[in-house]
Structure formats: structure tokens, C-alpha cells
Amino acid sequence: MNQTNNPKKMFLEIVKQLRQLIADENVSVGGKLPSERELAERLQVGRSTIREALRSLELLGLIETRRGEGTFLSDYRKHRLVELLSTFILQESKSKEDVHITRQALEKDAIHTICNTERLYGLHIWEAFKEKLINEEIVREDIIREIIIISDNRLGLKIWFLLKQFAGEPYRENMNPQEKSLWIQLLTSLQKGEEHQVFSLYYKWLLLINRGDV
């Protein structure tokens, strides 16, 4: 890696290189990263520079250092940003409302993408979801998460994970029979790419859970 006299550029370049290394070596959550010495050699920078970059990433909750064991990749769903937002921003009711609006916008974008992509709304997985709704307990957030995953918006998924943590209940509750029936209708319409009908059922479901009728 080329040296630079700009500390900010140096830090960003190291973060970029670390991200590429994690991707290239397929390091999963909980996986161990190379040592400071190895990273310094591979990225061709001083160990003190590597140490500062790792320390910053650890403060953000992206990595975890365990004394005597090494440095490990953290779960972004437990990102410290959640705590920071809760402490400094989300004390106002308007801010909390904005979080819910943004979260729902991501969900609606995923629905729009699927309904307008034949390859996606034609997937066999929707039948499997309907079978699960009939035969198993389903947590509300689980089916929404799968819809966003299938829409293939990875950045949207990461943001949704963060925002979803502020939704709390009722998203973490199981669907009851009334909701399951609603979602079976929703998925049936989704399989046909009937966007207007899907949104109508989605809004009906939101209204039910937000006013506590389910």
C-alpha cells in the first residue's frame, strides 16, 4: 500500500484494505483477523498505524480484541451505532418516529423490487414461507428480514438491522392466526407481482400491529 502523509487518507485506506482482506479470506462473524504484525507486513504500514486503525474499528464495535487471543470480526447487528443513536439522538419522539418511517421505507422498497422483478416474485421460496405460516410459529421480523434479503439490497439490509432494533415490540413477537392469514394473502399476491395489493395488505398488517389489535 502506498504511504501517504495524510492521516485521514491513511486510515481510510487501511480500513478499505482490511475490508478487502476480510472478503478475500471469507472471514465470518467471530472469525479471527491476522495479527498486528502480519497486517503491518501485508499492508506495508507501521504497526502503530495498524494499531490505531484497529482501535478505532473496535470502538465502533466492528471488531473485538480478546486479550491473549487476538482480534475477531464482530456482528454488525450489534454495532455501537445503535447505542449511540439511543443515547444521543432517539430521546425525542420525532426522532423515534423517523426511525420507524425509514425502516418501513426499506421494507417497502424491498417489496417494490420483488414485485417488479419476475425472477424474484417467481421464486419457489414463497410457497415455503406460506407452508411455514400454516404449520410453524413465525416471528414477525423474520419474514420481513427474508423479504429484504431476497430483494438483494445489502446496504438496505444492514441499515434495516440497525433500525429494527429500535422497533422493539411488537416486531419481536410471534404472528397470531389473524396475521398469518393476512401474510398468506400478501405472499400470494406477491407471487403474481401484484404490487398494489401487496402494499394494501402490508399497510393493513402495520395498522394491526401498531395499534395492538393482534
**pLDDT for 124-134, tens place per residue?**
999 999 999 99
Predicted confidence (pLDDT) at residue 78 exceeds the cutoff of 80: no
Binned at pLDDT 50, 70 and 90, residue 2 comes out as: very low
Does the pLDDT of residue 28 top 60, yes or no?
A: yes
Residue 34 has pLDDT above 80, yes or no: yes
Q: Is the pTM of this model over 0.85?
A: no
If we measure between CA atoms, which residue out of 176, 117, 116, 109 comes closest to residue 144?
109
The pLDDT of 97-119, averaged and rounded, is: 91
- Whether CATH 1.10.287 fits 90-210: no
The sign one gets for the Cα dihedral 100, 102, 159, 130 is positive
153 in Cβ contact with 110 (< 8 Å): yes
Q: Cell 494499531 maps to which residue?
A: 51
Q: Where in the chain is the domain with CATH 1.20.120?
A: 90-210
Q: Does domain 7-74 have CATH number 3.40.50.300?
A: no
Question: How buried is residue 157: exposed, middle or buried, by Cβ count under 10 Å (0-12/13-18/19+)?
Answer: middle
Measure CA 16 to chain center: 20
Kind and range of the H or E element at 172? none
Domain with CATH 1.10.10.10 in the chain: 7-74
pLDDT of residue 68: 85
Question: What type of residue sits at position 198?
Answer: V
Determine the residue type at 103: R
User: How far apart, in whole angstroms, are the C-alpha atoms of residue 163 and residue 33?
Assistant: 28
Res. 4 pLDDT band, cuts 50 70 90: very low
Instruction: Kindly tell me if the per-residue pLDDT of 143 is higher than 80.
Output: yes
